[in-house]
Amino acid sequence: MTDLFSNFSMTIDGRSVASAATLDIINPANEEVVAKAPDCSREQLDQAVAAARKAFPAWRATPLDERRRLVAKIGEVLAQHAEDFARLFTLEQGRPLRGARLEVDFAAFWCGAVAKLEIPVEVNEDSELRRSETRHIPLGVVAGIVPWNFPVNLAVWKIAPALLTGNTMVLKPSPFTPLTMLKLGELMQDHLPAGVFNVVSGGDQLGPWLSSHPGIDKISFTGSTPTGKRVMQTAAENLKPVTLELGGNDAAIVLPDVELDKVADKLFGASFANSGQLCVAIKRMYVHEDVYDKVADAMVTRARASKVGDGLEQGSNFGPIQNRPQFEKVKDLIRDARENGLKFLVGGDVPEGGKGFFVPLAIVDNPPEDSRVVQEEAFGPVLPLIKFSDIDEVIERANASEYGLGGSVWSADTDKAIEIASRLETGTIWVNETQYIMPWTPFAGHKLSGFGVENGREGLLEFTSPQTITVAK
């Protein structure tokens, strides 16, 4: 039986591999070292890429139904060890145990659902003279680079479609949260052919090594916009295709006819889930002036009733910020708001001197549009509530962001909400809900929120290249 809480190693060519150097993995709730993870050397990365290249021809030739079975098997392994994976997740990521378990369970479901997706063959012409069809063939070796906020689910977003379409993979989890993926790699050694799925962990140098590696044929990256720009620049050196799922500053527009008793919990959850560390969290909430006070009261009441604490402690609703650099960024944003005289309806004070990267839930009362708390992606539990009176003007304000990942409209009049949603410049817009993303639903960013598509048929085909075969009759 695999021990999920000790002896962390990389998976290279179907084997567990240690490293000379290690990384301290910090529990963000108490700042204690929970484990030491391998710090991959350049030579070991070369070995992982070489193993993936060697495995590619046989994996590509593996019948699709067998690849489906093995992708689904990843989900079965996650489900089999869900309780331990969830605890390990909380130790390294900080999210309360219930939320950690939900992510592991959802990732298990995701693998099974992706395994059922179809890889299309499109007939372009079938005449007396010729038949022409376009197939979608694998690219080769895919580099999957995964962030720390959703270290299991966002990894599966890359692993499942890449392997299903016949590619092999080298996966690099975040240096802050590598443990769950290292253990998944270890567990899958008994199921996947050697070299098909390699997992390496390391510090800041590993990402650039991987994205610039000549043996990598495709990069799928989720993370910050500045890092995504660097990935794209590196990939351009040898024309690697890239998929970039980057930051967001999602706007919610709450109309005066909103049925608050039905959506207040949704609005609150969408703003503060994972302590705001979510690319499609509500990060700017525009509320019509007629219902502003009611919405503010509902949000503040829920914030005051929520407990921020260690994810392993019973009763904790929200965990810490995952790492110190992000913790300092969120504190600086709150400090700037206070220094500029902005009013907090709740929160706004970060206790000093204690252990853990805890930030109390904070709601800012009607800050000006040009304030940092409105213009920047907090990626923490800080929400600006902003009054509006005119629909055209609020759409213009929502669209003024350099980001375009997601957005939402909240109204009892669905037709009106859809009309407003169609005018928002983002890849995904929800009406009367948010953050509903499924394996069959394409997910893409506009503007500085990304390049390419994840999920759905379009996302699946990002891991392929079209090949047209025309046969004269």
Active-site positions? 245, 279
For tokens 């992510």, the residue is 103
Q: How many CA atoms lie within 13 A of 73 on its CB side?
A: 16
Identify the three-state secondary structure at position 224. Answer: coil
Other Cβ atoms closer than 10 A to 470: 11
Contact 275, 318 (CB under 8 A): yes
Angle at 375 between CA 372 and CA 376, to 5 degrees: 75
Q: Which of 159, 155, 162 is nearest to 179 (CA)?
A: 155
Structure tokens at 235: 């990939």
Q: Give the Å distances, CA to CA, from 66 to 62, 137, 164, 189.
A: 7, 16, 9, 16
Structure tokens at 300: 């503040």
For tokens 């299903």, the residue is 164
Q: Give the Å distances, CA to CA, from 83 to 4, 89, 105, 310, 448.
A: 10, 10, 9, 17, 37
Identify the three-state secondary structure at position 47. Answer: helix
Q: Which of 133, 171, 178 is nearest to 151 (CA)?
A: 178
Identify the three-state secondary structure at position 81. Answer: coil
Q: How far is residue 50's CA from residue 413's CA, in Å, rounded to a whole number?
A: 56
Q: How far is residue 203's CA from residue 8's CA, in Å, rounded to a whole number?
A: 15
Q: How far is residue 275's CA from residue 358's CA, in Å, rounded to a whole number?
A: 9
Contact 468, 134 (CB under 8 A): yes
Contact 450, 244 (CB under 8 A): yes
Q: Which of 323, 142, 140, 309 is nearest to 224 (CA)?
A: 323
Contact 336, 368 (CB under 8 A): no
Identify the three-state secondary structure at position 152. Answer: coil
H or E element at residue 186 = helix 179-188
Structure tokens at 332: 């600086």
Residue type, 434: T
